[in-house]
Amino acid sequence: MNRKKLLTCLILTSLSFSSTHALAESKSKQSEKTAYTYQKMFQGKDYVKTELIIKFSKELDKKDKSILKTFFNLVNIKPIGKNFYVVSFSDETNLPKLVNKLYDNRIVEYVEPNYKIQKEYIPSEPLYKKQWFHSKINTPLAWDTTKGASDVVVAVIDGGVDGKHPELKGKLYKPYDAVDGDSTYYPDDHGTHVAGIIGASFNSVGVAGIAPNAKIMPINVFYGATTTAEEISSALFYAADQGADVINMSLGSYYYSKVIDDAVAYARSKGTIVVAAAGNDHVDEKTYPAAYNGVFGVSATNNTDRAAYFSNYGSYVDYAAPGEDIYSTIAYGKYGYMSGTSMASPVVTGTIALMLSKNPFLTEAQVDAVLKKSTVDLYTAGRDDLSGYGRIDASLAVKNTPAALSITTLSAKELVINGLNSITASYKAYIGSSVSVVVKDAKGKIVKTISKNVKGTDKQVNVSWDGRIDNGSYADSGSYKIIVTAVKGSAARTKETSFTVKNQLKPSISLEKTTIYYSPKVLRAAAVPIKLNKTQLVTAKIFDAKGAHVKNIISNKLLLGGSQTIGWNGKYSSGKQVPDGNYLMRIDSIDANNQKADRKTATIIVDSKAPLLKSAAISPSVYKAGKSITAVSKFTTNEASKVMIYVVNNNGQKIRTLASKMSLKSGTHTQSWDGITQSKTYAKAGKYRFVFESTDVAGNKSITQSNWISLQK
């Protein structure tokens, strides 16, 4: 598809120098420089009245610029490329006369007005030239902003739409037959024609729809040439419940139906916008559904912007749109002309689809307000019964639609991470939306959530990132994007801006624990948790208490920033288990910039011996059953440990837990029992004793039992 870029292409170049300056030359060379006349430059052209673009034969120095500003009273001289300058004046100047003077200077290669050039997207569909309505409503200009969005769904309540048509294939969303209550129906010329006006694809095949990227929800309501209020209301409920953003109804009757009116109200309550044809009998009589409250009623115009000879009119008409000799798709892969307000209605519907593609958060009232200032007034100033508020202009409608989301600025294109710098993005989001901002790396992975579910505002919001990612480390050098997403209900819009990261931060290692207790009988390896502030090449070695090398654990291993674990299995390089004792893990690292981190050292205490608990005798050994007692065990521990103490009977059943993971230091301790069970009853007559389960800090365990005591009747 051809694209004529609509840029405002301004190259200002103006220059005159005093005769005393070395740049002056005689007029004899002027004719050689003027390849075209001044008249051709300016007559009939649209250009910026206070600017010129000049190409010089050399780069201007400060003296050149100073002379220029003084001689021509310039406001600004702006370089735009090699030896090209835009020069600006404070007010309108006689530019043709000025160009004549400029060519008197030998360093001026040529001068040109700063032309305004509009871009127009012209699709390459071979039958596009038959669709006169596109140029009339300026859809090519609208397409430069949006061609529709795939998450905008337009319901076409009509005859069946040909889903196999090349222009509509793959575009249909949740089709429905309101006559039979299923998803199958026969394709119909009228419904297919309407659907094509709204959303025929850009595929270089036939015609172009107004919103070619939008989805079409086809809903058949006709059995032959007729339908009923039942089918229409059913279709309205279905469309609203299935998430249609806009409903087009190119059908009508002069009979009011409360059922359809309520169904329309239901659809509107779900946020769906309803558009309908005004009717084709050239009468001032209300036609439904166009005349129902809240429905956008559409009359038809011809290619001269006059009301079509057949179009109905009246107080219920809100807008006019082309509806005479409209070329679009028809059933079974064909194309054809049709006329009627049935063709005008989808022109408005398609335009609304473009608006919602730009901003899906708009309400019906907001869409209506934008449309009212986006029309061409055809008859009486303001509203009239023939054209409503005027003939629709898709370009103006899209232009006047406020953006759902925009990233207004990015403070820099590169973030140099040094612990002090940050990068700031500014955005504006539509009021009522919920905004989240994340940073993604080159692989599309979210590395940082900057903000989440912040209320949208039409004021500029600034978000900053210092390069720190969610795991606490800093991002590696590379390409990143700040992604801003605004959400409202099921609608969402995302904007992104790219930048690069250069991580110059000095690498650092931090130890989450400086002392690790390890028993080879309990764990396969001692785990040393570390945190890296960035990705680094890490080396870890084990030494014994005397400083003798024991083993290399890792050597220049690439570890990502964040939490990492380095493990040692408690063995020498030979594979032999080391004896119990204290060992040191020395950890060094270097980053991609060859910067070294400060060395960190962790102490690993290898302990394979179980804790020792002894002298756990209970005295006395005989007590009276059925009453409170005081049975006391005195015991000693040889190291700090966690101890569970419980009472068992002579069958080994646990009847009472006296202590659960009680932390004890090495030394002498006591534990008593009052003769009460876990169920808070007195223990029955019989034999009982204490059981001690000890676990030291390395995870070694031991079990010690006291002597038996007797509870007697």
Q: Taking the domains of the chain in order of start, what are their residue ranges? A: 2-115, 128-271+280-353, 405-503, 509-606, 613-712
User: Which positions are annotated as active-site residues?
Assistant: 158, 190, 342
Counts of helices then strands in the chain (DSSP H, E): 12, 43
- What was the pLDDT predicted at 321? 97
Is 128-271+280-353 the same fold as 2-115? no
- What was the pLDDT predicted at 18? 33
pTM for the structure as a whole: 0.68
The CATH number of 509-606 is: 2.60.40.4070
> Would you identify the CATH topology of the domain 613-712?
Immunoglobulin-like (2.60.40)
CATH architecture of 2-115: 2-Layer Sandwich (3.30)
Contact 331, 353 (CB under 8 A): no
Cα gap 354→393, rounded to integer Å: 12
CATH class, 405-503 region: mainly beta
Select the more confidently predicted residue: 568 or 28: 568
CATH class, 128-271+280-353 region: alpha beta
Distances (CA, A) of 510 to 538, 568, 588, 604: 13, 18, 11, 16
pLDDT digits (tens, 9 = 90+) for 643-684: 999 999 999 999 999 999 899 999 999 999 999 999 999 999
Q: Which of 143-147, 213-217, 457-461, 508-512 has the lowest mean pLDDT?
A: 457-461
- What was the pLDDT predicted at 259? 87
Residue 368, both tokens = 């209506």
Contact 596, 505 (CB under 8 A): no
H or E stretch at 565 = strand 562-568
pLDDT digits (tens, 9 = 90+) for 551-588: 999 999 999 999 999 999 999 999 999 999 999 999 99
Cα gap 316→433, rounded to integer Å: 32
Cα gap 416→158, rounded to integer Å: 59
- Dihedral, 649, 655, 658, 661 alpha carbons, nearest 10: 100
Q: How crowded is residue 19: how many other Cβ atoms within 10 Å of its Cβ?
A: 7
Cα gap 65→249, rounded to integer Å: 64
Q: How crowded is residue 537: how many other Cβ atoms within 10 Å of its Cβ?
A: 18
Residue 613, both tokens = 């608990």
Contact 454, 422 (CB under 8 A): no
What are residue 235's phi and psi, to 5 degrees? Answer: -65, -40
